[in-house]
Amino acid sequence: MSATDCEQGETGWGILEDLPGDPMIWVLIFSELAAFGLFLGAFMVARVIHPAVFASGQATLDSHLAGLNTLVLVTSGWAAARATASARASQRQTARRWLFGAMALGTLFIAIKLFEYAGEIALGNGLETSPFFTLYFLLTGFHLLHVGLGIVILAVVSRGANVTGVETGAAFWHMVDLLWIVMFPIIYLVQQ
């Protein structure tokens, strides 16, 4: 075994080393997935405890806007994947354009979500209205913060548009996509 092999073995990230992007982003992603998993678990348990409250709260939500937001966010994930492919092909300008597209769609997601929140608030629904709305606003708000953070991350990595940076940003962005794809049916569609 050479000295280089020893050094790589001592400083390696194990299974995280083989994932795209910086290994630290995967530590963040796994911790965020755990936090969202607990949050969604609490939402589902509360639904079992208060089925009528959750049914009436869910009935006021605009599932069409949420469906549109799902399409917007999934399309932004596709743009981030295209950015990754472009960065891997050493096409930095093209990668930047795809990243800007993903960021623009992320911004559209935020605008639609804020419009949806405004509608709920106009109906008199807020954090303290019911257990449903407490969890709805906290869970979707937490996700919304992650969309905003994802836009910032994509903006930062677009500056250099190098492979590792773009892969790192895209990995976080795909986590945001995945979370919404799981949250959307649980919050808007599944009925007890």
Cα three-residue angle 7-11-12, rounded to 5 degrees: 110
Contact in structure between 113 and 68 (CB atoms under 8 Å): no
Q: Where are the alpha helices (DSSP H) in the chain?
A: 3-11, 23-49, 51-60, 63-88, 92-122, 131-160, 163-184
**Distance from C-alpha of 51 to C-alpha of 8, rounded to nearest angstrom:** 54
Interatomic CA distance for residues 4 and 32, integer angstroms: 34
**What values do phi and psi take at 62, rounded to 5?**
-95, 95
pLDDT tens sequence for the chain (192 residues): 444 444 444 557 666 666 666 767 777 888 999 999 999 999 999 999 999 999 999 999 999 999 999 999 999 999 999 999 999 999 999 999 999 999 999 999 999 999 999 999 999 999 999 999 999 999 999 999 999 999 999 999 999 989 899 999 999 999 999 999 999 999 999 886
Closest CA to 110 of 154, 58, 145: 145
